[in-house]
Amino acid sequence: MIQIKPIGVIHSPYKHADGIPIQGSFKDDVEAFAEVYKEYQEGLKDLDGFSHAILIYHFHKVTDEKIVAKPYLEKVNHGIFAVRSPYRPNKIGFSIVKIQKISENKLFFTEVDIFDQTPLIDIKPYVEFFDKRENVKSGWIEKHFQKGIPKQTIL
C-alpha cells in the first residue's frame, strides 16, 4: 500500500474551473503560492536559485476516474495516459511554475493552473539540463498548435 502525506497546500485565485488556463504558461500573470507545512520548510533552502519549479499535487476536487477522456480542444476520446486530464487513476497532477520569491514557508509563483486549496505532494526544481528534451513529438496535440497557441486555452 502506498501512502502519500501532503507537504503543504496550494493557494490560488482559482476556486472554480471558470477562467483557469489549460496550462499555466498560457496565463502567466496570475499569482499564487504554496504554503509548505513548517516541518518541511527547511526543504525550500536553495530553491530560490532556480527560476522554475515542478509542483506535484493531488487533484482533490476530482471524483471520477476515467481510462479514456475527451481532452480540451478535442472532439474524440484518447487514452488517459495520452492526455493531461485530471480524471486519472491516482489523481496526481504536476505543473511547472515560475518562482517569484520564497518567504519563510511560502513559495510564491506565477504560471498557475491549479485550484485553490490543492494538497501539495512534492516540489522539485526544474532543471533545464535534466528536463528539457530535443526532437519532441506531441502526438494528437500537435494539430492544435500548428498555427501557434490556440485562443481557447482558458476554461
The helix (run of H) or strand (run of E) holding residue 53 is strand 52-58
Q: Does 66 or 104 have the greater pLDDT score?
A: 104
Q: Which domain holds residue 137?
A: 9-62+88-145
Number of structural domains, the chain? 1
Residue 154 is predicted with a pLDDT of 46
Would you say residue 43 lies in a domain? yes
Would you say residue 77 lies in a domain? no
What confidence tier does 3 reach under pLDDT thresholds 50, 70, 90? very high
Residue 150 is predicted with a pLDDT of 60
* Nine cell digits for residue 71: 481532452
- List the CATH number of the domain containing 95: 2.40.30.70
When pLDDT is averaged across residues 62-91 and rounded to a whole number, the result is 88
Q: What is the dihedral of CA 70, 93, 153, 136, to 10 degrees?
A: -90
* Nine cell digits for residue 50: 532556480
Would you say residue 67 lies in a domain? no
Tell me how far apart the alpha carbons of residues 109 and 66 are, in angstroms, rounded to a whole number.
30
| Sign for the pseudo-dihedral over CA of 14, 15, 16, 18 | negative
Tell me how far apart the alpha carbons of residues 145 and 139 are, in angstroms, rounded to a whole number.
11
Is there a contact between 108 and 27 (Cβ–Cβ < 8 Å)?
no
What confidence tier does 131 reach under pLDDT thresholds 50, 70, 90? confident
Please determine, for residue 155, whether its predicted confidence score (pLDDT) is greater than 50: no
What confidence tier does 113 reach under pLDDT thresholds 50, 70, 90? confident
When pLDDT is averaged across residues 95-111 and rounded to a whole number, the result is 96
* Nine cell digits for residue 13: 485565485
Q: Does 6 or 1 have the greater pLDDT score?
A: 6
Is there a contact between 54 and 124 (Cβ–Cβ < 8 Å)?
yes
Least confident of 49-58, 115-124, 125-134: 125-134
Angle at Cα 32 formed by Cα 58 and Cα 129, nearest 5°? 75
Residues 7-64 have pLDDT tens digits of 999 999 888 766 666 665 656 678 999 999 999 999 999 999 999 999 999 999 888 8
When pLDDT is averaged across residues 104-131 and rounded to a whole number, the result is 93
